[in-house]
């Protein structure tokens, strides 16, 4: 039976509260597309702040009724603070058990790392200790030249590919279903096809890709993007990769018009998530912390001492697609699957609001839709000719929930 590999949905997707510790604003790298404009080596989360944040969160169990929790650690590069993270995780486990909290036995520790420190003793000890509750994604952007185009060391500016790729086998051994997240900026466009195939070649079966939401796109980028995706489609179909590998660019649920009544959900989970920084301030998502914002003030919803100001969360929890969208998006005939980042919307807005949707990726989305249509038309025809279409329909891929 012919099968098509589905892109993975996150653990307990839609049922888990995502709580992020911004443990450090430091990173070994200075990626050119990084949205973190305020990275620095000074703001590291003190243990006392982490503990107080945990106590506040667990004390307010009745206000966080999600079935599960994802304790997310972000930087900068989170593994630079592995000692702190280990202590936080030990305390979380102890406290969730001691309090008989409903999240005990339904939790994950999640990391998105640049992979450079993955092999170190401290990180490996942490992985051994917590393996069954870990989700770790290593960011590798594709081929060496593509990766090193953006993911460079701060200071000397040399590429980081070699230091990351050496840790991929160990990572895949420990997390065979590990997926990677690839970010596409204007300069990366010529390398999309080779990069995805390269990642497949490294043994990574799930490649989640998105174009940056920032306004970096130049005239002609959409045509280049479309061409790369069509070449990738040919390679995936002709090479049979669709059976065992997934790439989030291609989804059946993409490119249809959307109704403002029945399909009016917000795309982004900001506001349902919670982030805390080294100062002990709470945010609706890490993208609303000051180090993530170019133009706007941080959107602080409270702190570990005074708690969460629920009024500051109301606008997030009331967001819907059409209220924040310009008419061109409401009327768009290929609106389905067009994503947005609430933080980038806020940062790019003409006034300090989260209710003005940024449209910088409009032409890139439309290019993706055209290539996506090509992919599915070609794949389905191939499967029909091979009398495998029915099996394919039964196993058709789900939309990838990759948001940011």
Residues that bind other proteins (CB under 8 A): 299, 310-312, 314-315, 317-320, 323, 349-356
The DSSP symbol for 85 reads H
Edge-first strand listing for the sheet containing 246-247: 179-184, 206-211, 246-247
User: Which is nearer to other proteins, 55 or 320 (by Cβ)?
Assistant: 320
224 vs 349 by CB, closer to other proteins: 349
The strand ranges marked E within 23-76 are: 68-74
**Closer residue to other proteins, CB minimum distance, 132 or 350:** 350
CB of 271 to other proteins, least distance (A): 11
CA 355 to chain centroid, in Å, comes to 22
CB of 231 to other proteins, least distance (A): 40
Looking only at the bridges linking them, the beta strands covering 281-283 and 302-303 are antiparallel
In sequence order, which residues have a C-beta less than 8 Å from that of residue 364 and are 6 or more positions away? 211, 217, 221, 222, 225
In the chain, DSSP finds a helix count (H) and a strand count (E) of: 14, 11
Q: Which stretches of 123-249 are assigned E, i.e. beta strand?
A: 134-138, 179-184, 206-211, 246-247
Nearer to other proteins, 37 or 317 (CB): 317
Nearest approach in angstroms of CB 263 to other proteins is 15
CB of 345 to other proteins, least distance (A): 12
Residue closer to other proteins, measured from CB, 315 or 401: 315
Q: Which is nearer to other proteins, 310 or 381 (CB)?
A: 310
Shortest gap between Cβ of 47 and other proteins (angstroms)? 31
CB of 354 to other proteins, least distance (A): 7
Q: Which residues of 160-175 are buried (b: 16+ CB within 10 A; e: fewer)?
A: bbebbbebbeebbeeb
């Amino acid at each position: 039976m012919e099968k098509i590999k589905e892109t993975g949905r996150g653990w307990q997707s839609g049922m888990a509260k995502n709580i992020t510790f911004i443990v450090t604003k430091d990173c070994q790298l200075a990626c050119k597309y990084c949205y973190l404009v305020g990275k620095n080596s000074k703001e590291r989360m003190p243990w006392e702040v982490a503990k107080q944040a945990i106590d506040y969160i667990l004390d307010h169990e009745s206000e966080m009724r999600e079935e599960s929790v994802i304790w997310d650690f972000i930087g900068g590069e989170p593994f630079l603070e592995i000692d702190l993270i280990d202590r936080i995780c030990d305390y979380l486990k102890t406290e969730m058990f001691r309090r008989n909290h409903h999240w005990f036995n339904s939790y994950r520790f999640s990391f998105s790392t640049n992979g450079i420190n993955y092999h170190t003793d401290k990180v490996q000890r942490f992985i051994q200790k917590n393996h069954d509750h870990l989700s770790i994604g290593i960011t590798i952007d594709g081929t060496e030249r593509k990766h090193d185009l953006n993911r460079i060391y701060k200071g000397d500016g040399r590429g980081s590919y070699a230091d990351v790729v050496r840790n991929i086998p160990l990572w895949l051994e420990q997390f065979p279903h590990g997926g990677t997240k690839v970010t596409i900026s204007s300069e990366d466009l010529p390398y999309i096809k080779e990069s995805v195939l390269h990642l497949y070649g490294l043994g990574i079966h799930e490649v989640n890709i998105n174009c940056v939401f920032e306004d970096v796109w130049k005239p002609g980028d959409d045509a280049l993007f479309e061409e790369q995706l069509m070449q990738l489609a040919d390679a995936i179909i002709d090479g049979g990769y669709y059976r065992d590998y997934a790439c989030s660019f291609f989804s059946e649920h993409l490119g249809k018009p959307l109704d403002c009544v029945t399909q009016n959900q917000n795309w982004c989970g900001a506001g349902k998530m919670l982030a805390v920084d080294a100062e002990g301030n709470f945010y609706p998502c890490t993208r609303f912390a000051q180090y993530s914002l170019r133009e706007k003030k941080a959107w602080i919803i409270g702190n570990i001492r005074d708690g969460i100001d629920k009024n500051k969360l109301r606008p997030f929890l009331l967001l819907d697609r059409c209220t924040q969208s310009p008419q061109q998006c409401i009327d768009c005939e290929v609106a389905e699957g067009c994503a947005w980042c609430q933080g980038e919307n806020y940062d790019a807005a003409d006034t300090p609001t989260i209710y003005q949707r940024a449209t910088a990726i409009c032409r890139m989305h439309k290019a993706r839709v055209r290539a996506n249509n090509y992919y599915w038309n070609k794949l389905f025809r191939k499967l029909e000719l091979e009398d495998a279409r029915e099996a394919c329909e039964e196993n058709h891929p789900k939309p990838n929930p990759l948001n940011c």
